[in-house]
A and B are shown apart, each in its own frame.
Chain A
């Protein structure tokens, strides 16, 4: 069974809750969970943590 995993975390602000145009490069996804959590702590913003696994 092959599986591809990607993990991404994004800090949320109201402006980001909208469809993303193009390839989403303007959308601040982080792939390091600890870094995202540290950034969320610093900024006081909530996070959306996404785990993606294809099985």
Chain B
């Protein structure tokens, strides 16, 4: 991300594949890329990208013919964010600036400036938040509408084709995400133009306060999750089916083997505290405060950060050498 202007190339920097269809003056026609807790590429399709490029060329031609000039935007690189600039000064070996570091640096800076609120976690919401499931291979087409969702209440149905969202042309899922990203958590109205059976129609989706909040599972894939607090101070890989079988666990049960207790950096105290409470490397974690319906270790880690409170105790159920062990873990700030 060295030198990349985060204002011009604005996108969800937690993605593994982020593409922008744009022109030399910095006008972004469309973004392409997507990810969910299901997998890193669950929202990607070569057919969709090819269609986007073909349609995007026509859009570029029309834009150039229009004579519109892009408004100048003040550039901002990751190196110019003060907290990140300080990190570079303090760590001469830091030479590769990963995409997700941009998200993290902006959040850290906002926290330092006291302009951050917990609602700022909700980045680039998927259309699923409206109850809209779009076709990954043909992203303007609605595949499913969730019952009682804001999209269902607005009258949208499976098979509809989105044309614009708040006036922006929809050719890829991030076109909807862009609008949602800029809609406040307090709620709002999203204007949809769509086609049904060759007819042009319009709908308004009403979003209530709190609409933007993600569940721990929805958020669990984001690298930015790891920087949220409080954290348990330990972690490790999910057990595979064979390991679970050997321990007499259900194949679908949550179980992670504790592979590390944090003993480095600013959070070393959390690992020391977990060790002192009785957590050991090699233990298998089965539940926390009676909750065990986690899909993965990352889901557990996100849930812990979203729902546990610093200053309280988390009750862990573990297996050690196949035998049950209970640990009361103090949750640090």
- Interface, chain A (partner B; CB < 8 A): 1, 3, 5, 7, 12-14, 17-19, 33-34, 37-38, 40-41, 44, 46-55
Contacts and interface: CB of A to CB of B under 8 A. Distances in A.
B16 A53 contact: yes
Contacts of A5: 1, 96-99
Given A1-B223, A5-B1, A17-B57, A50 B19 contact: yes
Given A50-B18, A53-B98, A37 B24 contact: yes
Contacts of A41: 24-25
B57 A47 contact: no
Contacts, number: 84
Interface residues of B, number: 34
A23 B10 CA distance: 30
B100 interface: yes
A46 B46 CA distance: 19
Most buried by A among B3, B11, B22, B223: B22
A55 B53 contact: no
A46 B20 CA distance: 10
Nearest to A2: B98
B180 to A, nearest CB: 21
A14 B57 contact: yes
Given A5-B1, A33-B4, A55-B223, A47 B98 contact: no
B299 to A, nearest CB: 16
Nearest to A38: B24
B163 to A, nearest CB: 21
B306 interface: no
Nearest to B98: A3
A53 B57 contact: no
Contacts of B17: 50-52
B9 interface: yes
Interface string B43-68: 00010001001101100100010000
Nearest to B64: A44
B22 A49 contact: yes
Contacts of A53: 13, 15-16, 18, 98-100
A5 to B, nearest CB: 6
A46 B4 contact: no
6 contacts: A34-B3, A49-B19, A51-B1, A51-B19, A53-B18, A53-B98
Contacts of B50: 17-18
Nearest to B27: A46
B56 A49 contact: no
Interface in B29-82: 29, 46, 50, 53-54, 56-57, 60, 64
Nearest to B54: A17
Contacts of B215: none
A55 B22 contact: no
Contact of B21 (A44, A48, A54): A48
B77 to A, nearest CB: 11
Contact of A55 (B20, B21, B98): B98
A3 to B, nearest CB: 4
Contacts of A52: 16-18
Contacts of A13: 57
